[in-house]
Amino acid sequence: MNTSAPVAVVTGASRGIGAAVALWLARRGAALALVARTESGLVQVADRVEMLGGRALVIEADIAGARSCGQIIQTTLKNFKRLDVLVNNAGIFQPMARVVDIDPKQYSYNIAVNLLGPVYLTAAALPFLRKSGGRIINVSSGAALHPISAGSAYCASKAALNQFTRVVAVEEPSVTAIAVRPGVVDTRMQDLLRTEGPEKMPPDEAAYYVDLKKNGQLETPEVPARSIAWLALYAPKQWSGRYVNYDDPPISEPALSLFGNDLGGI
């Protein structure tokens, strides 16, 4: 067992970008606490992590609550004895509704998952990330800057996540905190935009999301995940507080050099 390998918590790790981040990190021998609400998906990812040379710990949990977030960090420390990286990737788009039509319960849950979960996990992890000079990678969205009709909860939570990242960078100089835009990725979130968008968005905006898929413009999760994994391991301290793009050459080029382009291999 390599006790010097990095230890990372990855949320939303049962599929999509989170799973791909975990698999890229596994190639570097990382010990990974894989967090999601669905254990079956996590077990499948954990098996692949082990096959790639990493170590995996499955944690079935909902990050919407502070107690659950604290338990995630404590379980990780109990099993791996240290913490070097926190990747706050879990996120939801729902409720998809105009502001005048929102359901308060659904809206509050969106904010709890997309913003408060990362806040609670960060608070619980910081004492240990200070010791390791660790990194926090918050997976944000272009929606933090660009409004999406019927997506106010998602847009607002991601904008707040960016500012939270900046505050952490100011308060915690020994820790590197980065927010990253992963691009337009072929995930279940895009499925939702294509299926529900025509009913809840202006026609031209709904057509945009349909055309992204039709025209092959959606990125596979493995590509932005490769950049996120590189940031988790090597993001320079002077970048702390920044909101960066996954395809910025200073990120995407060293990520490609480190991990290679064998997307099917993960």
Confirm whether 78 is a catalytic residue: no
List 14, 107, 140, 227, catalytic entry: 140
Confirm whether 141 is a catalytic residue: no
Residues 6+ apart with CB under 8 A from 176: 133, 134, 135, 136, 169, 235, 236, 237, 239, 240
Token duo for residue 194: 């294509």
Confirm whether 140 is a catalytic residue: yes
List 107, 141, 152, 158, catalytic entry: 158
The C-alpha angle 105, 110, 111, rounded to 5 degrees, equals: 100
List 109, 154, 209, 243, catalytic entry: 154
Backbone region of residue 16 per phi and psi (left: phi > 0; alpha: psi in -120 to 50; beta: other values): left
- How many residues are listed for the chain in this entry? 266
Secondary element (H or E) of residue 88: strand 85-88
| Catalytic site positions | 140, 154, 158
